[in-house]
Amino acid sequence: RSKVVFIDMGSVGSLDRDLRVTYNEYTNALTYGDFSKASNYIMRLAVEIPRVNVPTVRAEMSRAIESWSSKAQLKGVEFKEKSFGAATADLSKVLTKYRIPNNWTFLKMSRSFLTLDGTLQYLLPEFDFFKTSKKYNRQADKRSLKQSLEPKSIRSSINQFFDTISEYNNLVLPELRARTIAFELTSNIFGLLLVLGFQSLAYLLLITEPVAVYSFLYQHYFKAIEPIHTQLAEEFFKQIPHLPYLEWIGIFILIGLSARILLAGAKVLKRKDFPQKI
């Protein structure tokens, strides 16, 4: 009873990152029944929106998607009425009604899904978009978590964090300085105390960083510190609550970012002369 099947997936291409993220969020909103959010993402995909009552358009799109969702989860409904392409068709009717142009890339993606629907209606006539999408999301979350725990991913996250800090120093901080109203700090006792407070907090955070690193190693990589571990250290660090691996990574990032921001704030306050722009 074997059968030979040819599946036509249409053309193969790539997506721009922002559009891919937006479309992914749109499908997730559909999956979990957040029709208002799904409508918002469709509006983000639209181009050159004319002068229309946007809240009315969004509400009408939400009703169209909700109607499709209700039909799609009923048994005995024809495949074409519950297919993913049917949702796109209902949305397109609303966009056409209000003369809102569709994103060309979105239309090409929709064409690919229509091609897939044409195949699924014969191979998997009982295909459930919601159940399949939820299952995929669960598996994707597991893969993402597993990948985030790999040393390569951790190094990449740390490098990205320091790149963000560098970008802040090179782009954002000079702009903040340029827009700051000049003031004379030497006569401003409150300003001096504020600088001192910022610096003290920053140095305190930097001092706690080695303690946090040692605690992390104690809980997750004890063999790395075993040669230098003492009884006194044991008594101290065993009292620290055990934290998951990812929470430690978040703590390190938070400590580093907070210290950098405090030091940058202190540096701005210490400057006596600011280029003032009106």
- Better-predicted residue by pLDDT, 158 or 95: 95
Please determine, for residue 20, whether its predicted confidence score (pLDDT) is greater than 70: yes
Q: What is the pLDDT of residues 226-239, one digit of tens each?
A: 788 788 878 888 78
Distance CA 274, CA 267 (A): 12
Percent of the chain with pLDDT over 70: 81
| pLDDT score at 63 | 92
Check: pTM over 0.85? Answer yes or no. no
Q: What is the pLDDT of residues 253-265, one digit of tens each?
A: 888 888 888 877 7
With b meaning 16 or more CB within 10 Å and e meaning fewer, what string describes 237-265? beeeeeeeeeebbebeeebbeebbebbbb
Please determine, for residue 183, whether its predicted confidence score (pLDDT) is greater than 50: no
With b meaning 16 or more CB within 10 Å and e meaning fewer, what string describes 171-208? eebeeeeeeeeeeeeeeeeeeeeebeebbebbeebbee
DSSP state of 168: I
**Rounded to the nearest 10 degrees, what angle do helices 129-148 and 151-167 cross at?**
80
Please determine, for residue 251, whether its predicted confidence score (pLDDT) is greater than 80: yes
DSSP state of 172: I
Q: What is the pLDDT of residues 37-50, one digit of tens each?
A: 888 888 888 777 88
